[in-house]
């Protein structure tokens, strides 16, 4: 199976030389559970043209500093791409911005939340586990986050699989998409998360140090990566 990663954001310039790019982070995350997975990357943030989604085996949309409501031409094009992929039955994964874009494209609503920045290791209640992940379904998952925007209305037919008071729609599963998406960042290891929060201290203020300290809570990145890999394998075309 080949997973096409749609790159919608770049590692911030001040720390870019110290870390692999976002597609590289996702390759490592998914390969840990499925070493046989093949990958391709299309970088819309660098101006690359999206292929016909019906020609793809699976799609993953990364995080981005952009908002789905921003007036960048590639965002509308990517929404059309996501809708066409859903219509063709191509399995899709969305992370952070990708989570929001899938929701907005498929009939939900995303806004810049009045709750402000969500940063640090957040813990979500697991509301339900679709059959594909029922074999490993804990009561909670804890994963690093970095976002201001949130899904406030999920699309019709989307099942909430993870939530918190801060982020009521933190994980969504689309049985008819098919798609699975998360507001959190399972691809971020602790070193990158800490560097990212520190680099954004001018925007985050004291919350930056608090976010770094929160990384002492054990993370469930590998588990979410396993869920993603299982989802992809169960929907292989």
Q: Which of 147, 185, 226, 235 is catalytic?
A: 185
Q: Which of 7, 104, 187, 226 is catalytic?
A: 187
Whole-angstrom CA distances from 94 to 17, 20, 106, 152, 165 are 25, 19, 12, 16, 21
Question: Alpha helices of the chain — where are they, by DSSP H?
Answer: 22-31, 73-87, 97-105, 190-199, 201-204, 207-214, 221-234
User: Does 96 qualify as catalytic in the annotation?
Assistant: yes
Phi-psi region of 110 (alpha: psi -120 to 50; beta: other; left: phi over 0): beta
User: Does 185 qualify as catalytic in the annotation?
Assistant: yes
Q: Centre a 10 Å sphere on the Cβ of residue 212 and count the other Cβ atoms it contains.
A: 20
Whole-angstrom CA distances from 147 to 85, 118, 156, 211 are 25, 5, 23, 12
Q: Which of 96, 147, 226, 235 is catalytic?
A: 96
Catalytic residues: 96, 185, 187
């Amino acid at each position: 199976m080949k997973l096409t990663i749609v790159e919608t954001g770049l590692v911030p310039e001040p720390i870019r030389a110290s870390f692999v790019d976002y597609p590289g982070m996702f390759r490592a995350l998914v390969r840990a559970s499925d070493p046989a997975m093949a990958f391709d990357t299309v970088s819309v943030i660098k101006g690359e043209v999206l292929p016909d989604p019906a020609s793809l085996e699976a799609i993953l949309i990364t995080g981005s500093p952009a908002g789905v409501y921003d007036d960048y031409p590639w965002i509308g094009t990517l929404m059309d791409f996501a809708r066409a992929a859903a219509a063709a039955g191509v399995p899709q994964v969305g992370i952070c911005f990708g989570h929001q874009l899938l929701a907005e494209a498929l009939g939900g609503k995303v806004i810049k939340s009045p709750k402000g920045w969500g940063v640090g290791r957040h813990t979500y209640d697991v509301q339900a586990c679709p059959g594909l992940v029922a074999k490993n379904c804990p009561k909670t998952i804890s994963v690093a986050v970095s976002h201001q925007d949130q899904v406030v209305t999920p699309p019709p037919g989307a099942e909430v699989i993870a939530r918190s008071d801060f982020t009521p729609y933190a994980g969504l599963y689309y049985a008819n998409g098919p798609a699975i998406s998360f507001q959190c960042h399972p691809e971020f290891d602790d070193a990158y998360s800490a560097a990212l929060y520190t680099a954004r201290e001018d925007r985050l203020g004291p919350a930056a140090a608090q976010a770094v300290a929160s990384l002492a809570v054990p993370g469930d990145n590998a588990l979410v990566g396993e869920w993603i890999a299982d989802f992809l394998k169960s929907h292989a075309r």
